[in-house]
Amino acid sequence: MTLIDLLTLAQPIYWKNPQKIKWLEAKEQLSIDDTIIDDAEKRLQRFAPYFLHTAPETAHNQGLIESPLQQLNRFNHAPFANDQKLLIKRDDILPISGSIKARGGIYEVLTLAEEIAGKHGLIDDTKDYRQFAELKFKELLSSYTIVVGSTGNLGLSIGIMSAQLGFKVVIHMSNDAKQWKKDLLRQKGAIVIEHRGDYGEAVKRGRKEVEEQERALFIDDENSIALFSGYAVAARRLQHQLQQQSIDVSIDNKLAVYLPCGVGGGPGGVAFGLKTIYGDAVECYFVEPVQSPCMLLGMSTGQHHDISVNDIGLSNKTAADGLAVGRASKFVGQLMTPLLEGIYTVEDTMLFKQLRALYMEENIKLEPSAAAALNGPQMTGSKAKTHIIWATGGGMVPASIWQQYFEGGA
């Protein structure tokens, strides 16, 4: 039975990437290097005074948008040895928009705001970036429109940040997007355009809108280096947190990281950042729903964006709305080909089972897409000493909606 045959059965599988190679060899083949992370770190530091001024919840991190790294003491369903650790990266409670998309989405909006303000000579070098809260900046940025296609969380991060800075923002959302996310975006001042099609259709319509307008800017989750750079910064933040917790990462003490994957930008950025720090001492795994394994399909066939899960008879329907993507990013798929350890798939029933267990045992509330990574150690069989589940979202889910998740429904 071929891999395609296995995927069409829509059952959980683990695919070990046969093209992964050693880091020193792989990095020579990559189209980017860690200078993009250097630039992103510097820009986020420049904007730290702005967030201290406008987002008090960032004060404990000196204006940086960051999440805690938390040990899981009771939720540990893998056959771990006594010297193995299981932790969770709490991007579900990232400030501003409560998901991993706050890293890439907000960062790209900041990049655009800085470029526009600089082009118009508005930035005063004698002042810090609290100046971006001034009326003259909002008036300038209000003449520009930011457009994006999204299943939900990317739209939230971009919509909230864009509106706060003064941009007009239009979010094209697929039929997989949750109604509460659409409602929240409208409350924040974004224009939400709903589509009957999936994520791919929302992106297509967003791109078309930008072509037809002046001063319209499209944020491309599939191909944006800025988005990718914002996500990659998370690796350096994680390195500092591991050091604070006296957790050693080396060839003899490997780190395994489990990342839910939609189109690929978020997990790809984090994985790339981790590889630049730890090289062969880190194992990076992606996880996708059984009905939406677009990255697994694209990487395993080498066709990347040129093949859709619909092409092999899968529905692309899942309760994990942020992962309901039919075609993976070609940019990320090609970049991950020599780097990624493997990809595993998960059924929706397992998402809700793991979501409930995590809440009951650790009092952590995730949304279904974020719960996808929770059974990574079991599915991959990794022998790493330290395992990190990347919790990608859930902090903004209304209580009534989360209760539905807890009860096993979407």
pLDDT in tens, 369-408: 999 999 999 999 999 999 999 999 999 999 999 999 998 7
- Nearest 5°: the CA angle 350, 11, 195 is 75
Q: Which pLDDT band, with edges at 50, 70 and 90, does 173 fall under?
A: confident
Give the per-residue pLDDT at 45: 98
Give the per-residue pLDDT at 216: 82
Q: Which pLDDT band, with edges at 50, 70 and 90, does 326 fall under?
A: very high
Give the per-residue pLDDT at 361: 94
Contact call for residues 203 and 92 (beta carbons, < 8 A): no
Give the per-residue pLDDT at 175: 72
On the question of pLDDT at 5 being above 80, the answer is: yes
Give the per-residue pLDDT at 258: 98
Mean pLDDT score, 82-106: 93
Give the per-residue pLDDT at 80: 75
Give the per-residue pLDDT at 209: 76
Q: What percent of the chain has pLDDT over 90?
A: 80
Q: What percent of the chain has pLDDT over 70?
A: 99
Give the per-residue pLDDT at 136: 97
Domains present along the chain, CATH in parentheses = 3-37+66-97+232-407 (3.40.50.1100), 100-219 (3.40.50.1100)
pLDDT in tens, 251-264: 999 999 999 999 99
On the question of pLDDT at 409 being above 70, the answer is: no
- DSSP lists the bridge partners of residue 387 as 86, 256
Give the per-residue pLDDT at 284: 98
pLDDT in tens, 340-372: 999 999 999 999 999 999 999 999 999 999 999
In the 3-class helix/strand/coil scheme, how is the chain assigned residue by residue? Answer: CCHHHHHHCCCCCEEECCCCCCHHHHCCCCCCCCHHHHHHHHHHHHHHHHHHHHCHHHHHHCCCCCCCEEECCCCCCCCCCCCCEEEEEEHHHCCCCCECHHHHHHHHHHHHHHHHHHHCCCCCCCCCHHHHHCHHHHHHHCCCEEEEEECCHHHHHHHHHHHHHCCEEEEEECCCCCHHHHHHHHHCCCEEEECCCCHHHHHHHHHHHHHCCCCEEEECCCCCHHHHHHHHHHHHHHHHHHHHCCCCCECCECEEEEEECCCCHHHHHHHHHHHHHHHHHEEEEEEEECCCCHHHHHHHHCCHHHCCHHHHCCCCCCCCHHHCCCCCCHHHHHHHCCCCCEEEEECHHHHHHHHHHHHHHHCCCCCHHHHHHHHHHHHHCCCCCEEEEEECECCCCCHHHHHHHHCCCC
Give the per-residue pLDDT at 329: 95
Q: 121-130, 222-231, 289-298 — which is least confidently predicted? A: 222-231
Give the per-residue pLDDT at 74: 86
pLDDT in tens, 11-54: 999 999 999 999 999 999 999 999 999 999 999 999 999 999 99
Read off the tokens for 284.
């990076």
Give the per-residue pLDDT at 34: 95
Give the per-residue pLDDT at 89: 98
On the question of pLDDT at 90 being above 80, the answer is: yes
On the question of pLDDT at 180 being above 70, the answer is: yes
Q: Which pLDDT band, with edges at 50, 70 and 90, does 243 fall under?
A: very high
Give the per-residue pLDDT at 61: 95
Alpha-carbon distances of 18 from 122, 329, 336, 341, rounded to whole Å: 51, 19, 12, 9
Give the per-residue pLDDT at 153: 87
